[in-house]
Structure formats: C-alpha cells, structure tokens
Amino acid sequence: MNDNDAGIGGLQMLDDGDAPAAPIAPIAPIAMEQPAEAAPATAGAGGGAHARVLIIGSGPAGLTAAIYAARADLEPLVIAGFVPGGQLMITSEVENFPGFPDGIDGPTLMANMRAQAERFGARLHDVDVESVDLSERPFKVDAGGTRYTADAIIVATGASAIWLGLENEERLRGRGVSACATCDGFFFRDRKIAVVGGGDSALEEALFLTKFASEVVIIHRRDEFRGSRIMQNRARSHPKISIEWNSQVTDVLGENKIEGLELTDTRSGEKREMPIEGLFIAIGHKPNTEVFREHLDVDDKGYLEVADHTRSNIEGVFVAGDVHDHRYRQAITAAGDGCRAALDAERWLEEQADAGPATAMPAAGETVSTA
Ligand code: NAP
C-alpha cells in the first residue's frame, strides 16, 4: 500500500542506446533506510507483531500519526509500504509546507518525518499490506508475510497516480513514459517532452521538467486549467512551455522507446501526431482502499468514508489523509489529519481502558454508524 503507481523503484528507465533512459537510481533508499534492526515488536497472534496502534501508510498522514502516537507512549507500529513515504517521494519542491521558507524537496521532508517518528520510538516496517480482518478485535493485518494484530488501527494509505489506460502507454512505461518527473526528469536533458493534465500536478511537473528538457508541451483535454492561478501563471509565462489545448493523448508511438504521440482534438475528433521523446502523466490519483473494502465504507469514488471526525464505520479503526480526502489533498492537510487520528485513537483506547475489561473489547465485529 501507499505505493504510488509511479513506483519509485518501479520506474526503471531502460538504457537502450540513445533513448532518454538509463537505469534510474531510486529515490526512496537515499532517505528511507530501514533501521539495521527494527525495534522488537510485541509477539502477537500467529507469531507476528502486536501494536496498541497500528498505522498503515507512511505519507504525511501516517508519519504524523506515528509521531503523535509515539509521543503518547502508544508505541505505534507503522506498516510503511514496500515503497515508503507516499506521494511526496515523487514530488520535487514543496513550497507550501509551513516552516520551510525556501521550500523543501519531498523525499527530504518525508525522511525528516520518518526520523522524527523513530526518535519517539515508532517502529516502521517497509512491507505492503496483503489483507486485513477488521471483524473482531484485536484487528488482524497480514503484511509482508507476517500476521500483525492491533487494538486500534489508523488507515493512512493515501492515493496513487492514475494512468491514461492506453496499451502502448503501459508497454513503454520506463522507456520514456513516466508519472514521476522527480524520478525521471534527469534522463530527458535537451529533449522535447510532454506532460498530460491540467491540474496543479501537471503544471508543477511541467515547470520542474523545464530544468532538463529543451521544450515541454502540456497536453490538456479542455481549454482551461484546473490548477491554481499562481502555477498557471508560471507555466504560461515560461519560455520553454507550450500548451496543446483541447487535446487528448489517444496513442503512444514507438517500438522500444517513445517516439511520438497520437493526439485527438476533443472538439473535432481530428487526429494528429506529435513527435516527442518523453511523456509524463499527471492526471490525478485513486485512493488505495482495495484491501479495506470488505470492511470499511467507501464513497462512490472509492475513498474511505469518515464520520465523527476521523472514525471509520468500525470502532477502533481511524482514517487519515488522502485515502479519504479528495477535496484538499495537501501534505499539510494530510499531516493535520494524521494528528487528529492519533489523538482520536489515543482517547478511544483510554475510554476502552477506563470502561474496564467487561466493555473494553466490544463484541466481535461491532460497528458504529457513519450516518
Ligand atoms: P487534479 O486537480 O484532479 O487534476 C487532474 C487533471 O488531469 C485535470 O486537469 C483533468 O482534466 C486531467 N485528467 C483527468 N483524467 C484525464 C484523462 N483520462 N485524460 C486526460 N486528462 C485527464 O489532480 P492533480 O493535479 O494531481 O491535483 C490533485 C490535488 O493536489 C489538487 O487539489 C491540487 O491542487 C493538489 N496539488 C497541489 C500542488 C501544490 O500546491 N504544489 C501540487 C500538486 C497537486 P479536467 O480538468 O478536464 O478534469
């Protein structure tokens, strides 16, 4: 979980001679080293680890929850994902996270959050969740071949990049097609590349790519951007950036590496080809909720539902960050959400303890209404 489909490690630009591609050095390991020896976890059912608070996800929401839960002496265990750190690991400059007047790059921000959580005793395991059983307490989570159990869970699995869904887009992924400018921009020095999308992500990627590319073409399906005014102005005024309005990428051309695009005019249906040496997709994200759907309520877009602040429909399971928030989706709002979820989990655990053993663990599968 928490693995952006752009896949930091997964985006391997293959070296095929003059292709804009060489094996990419993954960003994640630079900053996200697993401690040589993870702190011992309490033995749980099935020989795995037990945590009072198990946090699933290691983006700003999960790591902020870990900092707060650790400082509350809850000894949280974070299932951080095989590719930890969330979407900020593939974000270049973060200029709007308070406290960094000169900006900070995403991977550094995440490494700092991780170090801060570990400083207070949070344990982080860089494995993906395979399945969950939230029907009774302690809750059960299978991840990386290990059974974890938990009294309370905070779900902070974020959202992943969406692709166009074209056959040749998938075939040429890593051969000039990418969803991660930070990871791959370096390989497109002095080349003409395209960015698809009209939101802040596309504008940000396009601006970042101007550092390397000779020319950046933003391809957008409408005639106006969705992104913020400041980013629009920056992109529109940049000498290396041009914009193809009302255009949809309908095919990606090239045998062993990308050589061009088939574009379709969204008003007339007319098709044309554009030679291009790189393609970056920045058209939004989908929530990472698959493993929870049997137990947790989702909305029509697949995002987790919350009620009563950060509570899910299952008592003891809390939700934080982009996995439920498709309105704000900012690092700072996700971090704030992680804080709220940790405080709610802490209070809920205290209530359980105060209520005594008879009521501390309500009946298996007991749920609360989200109405
Ligand atoms: P977004 O705002 O949802 O924008 C997605 C863009 O992709 C839209 O322009 C959309 O077109 C286009 N699109 C969607 N599906 C498409 C398809 N199949 N083919 C072609 N185009 C498609 O997503 P985002 O840009 O990732 O931003 C998400 C949130 O994060 C926003 O709230 C944004 O402000 C925030 N964000 C902030 C920053 C920052 O502040 N530095 C940076 C990145 C993101 P339409 O416009 O026609 O729908």
Q: Active-site residue among 5, 180, 322, 339?
A: 180
- Structural domain contains residue 8: no
Regarding whether 295 and 155 lie in a shared domain, the answer is: yes
Domain count, the chain: 2
Q: Which of 223, 247, 281 is the last residue of a domain?
A: 281
| Domain C-terminal end among 256, 281, 306 | 281
* Contact partners, residue 370, CB within 8 Å, separation at least 6: 297, 305, 306, 307, 312, 313
For residue 303, give its domain range: 32-160+285-360
Average pLDDT, the chain: 85
Residue owning the nearest CA to atom 7 of ligand 1: 283
Per-residue confidence (pLDDT) for residue 371, from 0 to 100 = 30
Q: Which burial class, exposed, middle or buried, applies to 102 when counting CB atoms under 10 A from its CB (0-12, 13-18, 19+)? A: exposed
190: CATH: 3.50.50.60
Q: Which of 3, 5, 105, 183 is catalytic?
A: 183
Q: List, for residues 214-241, the tens digit of each pLDDT value.
A: 999 999 999 999 999 999 999 999 999 9
Say yes or no: 197 and 107 in one domain.
no
Q: CA 246 to CA 306: how far, in whole Å? A: 37
Which pLDDT value is given to residue 270? 98
- Is 26 inside any structural domain? no
Residue 151 annotated to the active site: no
- The tens digit of pLDDT for each residue in 322-354 reads 999 988 888 999 999 999 999 999 999 999 988
Question: Do 69 and 168 fall within a single domain?
Answer: no
**Is there a single domain that holds both residue 151 and residue 187?**
no
**184 catalytic residue (yes or no):** yes
Same domain flag for 213 and 189:
yes
245 and 318 share one domain? no
Q: Is the dihedral of CA 179, 181, 183, 185 positive or negative?
A: positive
Q: Is residue 3 part of a domain?
A: no
Q: Are residues 154 and 297 in the same domain?
A: yes
180: annotated active-site residue: yes
Q: How far, in Å, from the CA of 88 to the mean position of ligand 1? A: 15
Nearest residue (CA) to ligand 1, atom 2: 199
Provide mean pLDDT across the span 233-257: 97
Query: pTM of the full predicted structure?
Result: 0.72
Indicate whether 239 and 295 sit together in one domain: no
| Shared domain check, 187 and 116 | no
Report yes or no: 88 and 9 within 8 Å, Cβ to Cβ.
Answer: no
Which of 237, 261, 281 lies at the terminal end of a domain, its last residue?
281
Report pLDDT digits (tens) over 29-57: 323 333 333 344 454 444 569 999 999 99
pLDDT of residue 38: 39
Tell me, yes or no, whether 106 lies in a domain: yes
